[in-house]
A and B are shown apart, each in its own frame.
Chain A
Amino acid sequence: MAGFDKVVTTYEDALSGLKDGMTVIAGGFGLCGIPENLISEIKRLQTKNLTIVSNNCGVDGFGLGILLEDKQVSKMVSSYVGENALFEKQLLNGELDVELTPQGTLAEKMRAGGAGIPAFYTATGVGTPVAEGKDTRFFNGREYLLEEAITGDFAIVKGWKADRYGNVIYRHTAQNFNPMAATAGKITVVEVEELVEVGELDPAHIHTPGIYVDRVIVGTFEKRIENRTTSK
């Protein structure tokens, strides 16, 4: 590797430096736009005691759900964690801690983390269990909650296409949390479907500029569908 070349060729290299107890921010919404192979590599590495920040926790046997199988996750920060029986069991056993966070607040926490903003005020969650223990302040007569930013030791991201410099574009609604996750990792790893030549992507259409990205790897994806609905 030289200069701005971020490409790595093995998943071992992609997650080199991941250690027990770290915080990992993951892109994806449900099973859409999740870094499938990076998640599988975390399972292979058997890294333990992880805090995972992700809107959801996959399903039994796929996505982040596979990290529960060997109890690798000690805490999840998510907005919605249904669809996962093992998650429920570990939560009820006290083996897993969950910090439920409103979806928009979670996205903004990642965005703020990546943008160097330590905290922000939002009306979301005022008067609800989410507000417990948090500072509030009135602006223009309305009450707002102070929510703190999130950063991760690693961010794992699923892109569609990237160039060697780590410029990334996402495909359709597989974008979701990925751009914010990409900004908020000390080490940001992006796995993509296709590596393109530098200069091939239109600079004005880059979703994630390469400055946020440390490693790029090309993978193949199952892209499992959680809820297949069709019109007759």
Chain B
Amino acid sequence: MSSSSSLGFGIGLRTAHFNTLLERRAEVDWFEALSENFMMEGGRPHFVLDRIRRDFPIVLHGVSLSIGSTDPLRRDYLDRLRWLIERFEPRWISDHLCWTGVDAHNLHDLLPLPWNEEALALVVSRVVEVQDVLGHRIALENVSSYLAFTHSTMSEWEFLSEVARRADCSILLDVNNIYVSARNLGFDPRAFIDGIPSERVVQMHLAGHSDCGTHLLDTHDAAVAEPVWELFVHARRRLGAVPTCIEWDGNVPPLEELESEVATARRRAAEAEPSGQPRDDHATAAA
């Protein structure tokens, strides 16, 4: 795997766009593929990803590493991930700072951890083990949260920063998740961004969410909301031209709408530049 420098703006690769992507070149700079969607032995998803790889850089993004679980790491999952890395040669790989199951039961949800020393020691040791098995550095992403624990002793961004420092891993900063969690749990989203070590951030995520009245839900089924764009501009000012990916998972619109979101991301990113011009030359930590 290589450096994330100058990748620009990408989108999440989704089945709904497979046909269009086989017919024409997308107006994006790169693609993010969900690791678990390609863990089968072959078939159409592999065929499409091979075609995409001919024209675009790709990265792999997982949802089932369960780095915060108290279960042993699943070696079969890591073996499958390592096979995928060798097969598709992504620029880098990422997963989430969360747990998805326990006692061999996978809930397929991104569940929050208490931000304390017990969880920190567990996550750090598991990231080190994962990176040893895979032979590559991984990036961890902050998740959207709907609850917080009373026995947390630090903030989420302090926890994430400390994991990255102790385990020598990278960070995938999901700007929408920061906004959703900040609204749900009552913290300042800019403090999150300001508290992250910029040299560790290899990628950013943007997505839409739903307002349920009492809380925001990370639904990935709508355009990026204006407050999230404003937070994105703030993140670009602080972190530079970090490769940025638009995620859209529910009610997936035609590819043109995703391309329009990418164009908006380019425009909003330019707002962060003193000259008002886009910049794509940010070199980040090599995986």
Report whether chain A binds chain B.
no
Residues of A whose CB lies within 8 Å of any CB of B are none
Residues of B whose CB lies within 8 Å of any CB of A are none
